[in-house]
């Protein structure tokens, strides 16, 4: 399974998913891509899941056009210490069949 960390997440979070193939948007040199462009690049490169903190993404994109899974991390801020608490819930959901579109992780 291939995971992509959006540029609005701390890069350090990547270390918590070492059992997966995981890249950051900056690893792929995709910084600054608009959401639709980013989702298409993910599809073209075979990524399965985008981890993001962008709460508007679910309202801005048509997931019939971009059939990928997006995990929206819902927390009070996007610091590593706060988001680290969501690592296990993310891993638990990754064990289930992926759902196209946005899945909110709290």
Q: Which tens digits make up the pLDDT trace of 13-42?
A: 999 999 999 999 999 999 999 989 999 999
State the pLDDT at residue 47: 97
CATH code of 2-105, in short, is: 3.40.50
Pinpoint the alpha helices (H) of 27-78: 35-44, 57-60
Q: How far apart are CA 106 and CA 103, in angstroms?
A: 10
Question: pLDDT band at residue 55, thresholds of 50, 70 and 90?
Answer: confident
Q: How many CB atoms lie within 10 A of CB 79?
A: 12
State the pLDDT at residue 60: 78
Residue 59 has pLDDT above 80, yes or no: no
Q: How many CB atoms lie within 10 A of CB 67?
A: 10
Q: What are the extents of the domains in the chain?
A: 2-105
φ and ψ at residue 43, rounded to 5 degrees: -60, -45
């Amino acid at each position: 399974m291939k995971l992509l960390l959006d540029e609005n997440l701390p890069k350090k979070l990547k270390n918590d998913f070492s059992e997966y193939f995981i890249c950051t948007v900056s690893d792929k040199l995709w910084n600054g891509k608009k959401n639709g462009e980013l989702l298409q690049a993910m599809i073209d490169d075979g990524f399965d899941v985008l981890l993001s903190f962008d709460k508007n993404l679910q309202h801005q994109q048509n997931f019939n056009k971009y059939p990928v899974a997006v995990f929206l991390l819902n927390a009070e801020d996007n610091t590593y210490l706060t988001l680290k608490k969501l690592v296990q819930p993310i891993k638990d959901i990754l064990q289930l069949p992926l759902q196209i579109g946005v899945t909110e992780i709290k």
